[in-house]
Amino acid sequence: MMPACPTCKAPVSSPDRVYKVVVEPEQGERGVVQRDVGMFRCPRCDATFPRVLGRVHYLLVPDTEFKRLKKEAEENKAKAADLDVTVEALRKEKLEREEALTQQLRDKVIAGLESELGQLEKHVEHLREERDRLQHEVAVP
């Protein structure tokens, strides 16, 4: 959104200059605020006016606290890397176990089908023998 001139309300597209201003904390605030302030010039009435373009809040901490936090962040980063390695190893192990279980299931299904096939072949052989016996009984007067 383009700022408007406070005098004539004309829109101003871009600032002539941008300043970085560090503002002390007010009562009850922590840290400092860096503001980017743009100085705009109205093309219609030639009035100049400032507008805050952006803010960044900085929290001030003692050096010892900063070093402790930095060390803690590095330790957490190392732990995260270790956890990534562990997660990847567990993912591989899961895939291997799933493949092994799938193979076991296939082997059991195949073994069951082979057993059923053997029983069916025995039954077919028995039925053929029965057929041959019946045909022989019918053929003999």
The structural domains of the chain, ordered by start, are 1-60 (2.20.25)
Mean pLDDT for 130-137 is 92
Alpha helices in 34-140 (DSSP H): 63-139
Res 59: pLDDT = 83
pLDDT of residue 62: 85
- pTM greater than 0.85 (yes/no): no
Q: Which range is least confidently modeled, 39-53, 66-80, 88-102?
A: 39-53
Spell out the residues 6+ positions from residue 49 whose beta carbon is closer than 8 angstroms to its own.
3, 5, 6, 7, 39, 40, 42
